[in-house]
């Protein structure tokens, strides 16, 4: 049996889980509401304050989906109760980020500034402290959407391997290359 799939999901107080007869799971909490359509071969049961995920057979596809849907549902429950946060750093001279509402404006060394309109589910914060890298803080209850938006922002200027300049996640290690050696 799947090690991840067989673990029960604890549903905290204040979170309401609804399972429709067409395997549509709705999770509603203080931060928001999320939906997930589950494969018919996977059954979802709500027993007390625990959500159980079970599969119908031991086929390879069913075993893979067992752990997948358990993780997706666990992220939904955690998201609507606690939320998720992603922090990105801008490393480089002149790299700046300013955020107003749902609009993120980035100065990344190109000839023009990049303006991004973020989805309404994401809360944006930017910080600029002298002597430290500018940071972009994204908060949301939807982990999938948060990761997608953070990845899109990082793809605008990924860290380069020689000086490490670019947008990186906080705590991310960049392997640096030596570059050219001086002729001796």
d(CA 29, CA 79): 9
2 is a domain residue: no
pLDDT digits (tens, 9 = 90+) for 17-63: 999 988 899 999 999 999 999 999 999 999 989 999 999 888 898 88
User: Is the full-model pTM beyond 0.85?
Assistant: yes
Strands 166-169 and 96-100: unpaired
Looking at the structure, do residues 88 and 163 belong to the same domain, yes or no? Answer: yes
Tokens for 105, please give them.
Answer: 């404006």
pLDDT digits (tens, 9 = 90+) for 107-148: 999 999 999 999 999 999 999 888 888 999 999 999 999 999
Residue 66 belongs to domain with CATH number:
3.90.930.12
Question: 23, 49, 81 — which closes off a domain?
Answer: 81
Listed residue (145, 1, 138) closest to 63, CA to CA = 1
d(CA 63, CA 133): 43
Residue 97 belongs to what H/E stretch?
strand 96-100
Domain count, the chain: 2
Instruction: Tell me the three state secondary structure of residue 33.
Output: strand
Looking at the structure, do residues 153 and 127 belong to the same domain, yes or no? Answer: yes
Looking at the structure, do residues 107 and 135 belong to the same domain, yes or no? Answer: yes
Q: What domain range includes position 99?
A: 84-169
pLDDT given for residue 75 in this prediction: 95
């Amino acid at each position: 049996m799947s090690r991840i799939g067989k673990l029960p999901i604890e549903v905290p107080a204040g979170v309401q889980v609804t399972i429709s007869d067409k395997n549509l799971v709705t999770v509603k909490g203080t931060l928001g509401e999320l939906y997930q359509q589950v494969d018919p071969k996977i059954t979802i049961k709500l027993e007390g304050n625990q959500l159980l995920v079970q599969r119908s057979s031991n086929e390879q596809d069913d075993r893979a989906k067992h752990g997948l849907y358990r993780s997706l549902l666990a992220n939904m429950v955690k998201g609507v109760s606690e939320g998720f946060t992603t922090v990105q750093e801008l490393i480089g001279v002149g790299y700046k980020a300013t955020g107003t509402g749902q609009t993120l404006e980035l100065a990344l060394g190109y000839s023009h500034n990049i303006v991004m309109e973020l989805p309404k589910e994401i809360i944006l914060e930017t910080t600029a402290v002298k002597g430290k890298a500018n940071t972009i803080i994204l908060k949301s209850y939807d982990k999938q959407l948060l990761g997608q938006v953070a990845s899109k922002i990082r793809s605008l200027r990924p860290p380069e391997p020689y000086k490490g300049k670019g947008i990186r996640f906080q705590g991310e290690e960049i392997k640096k290359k030596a570059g050219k050696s001086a002729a001796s």
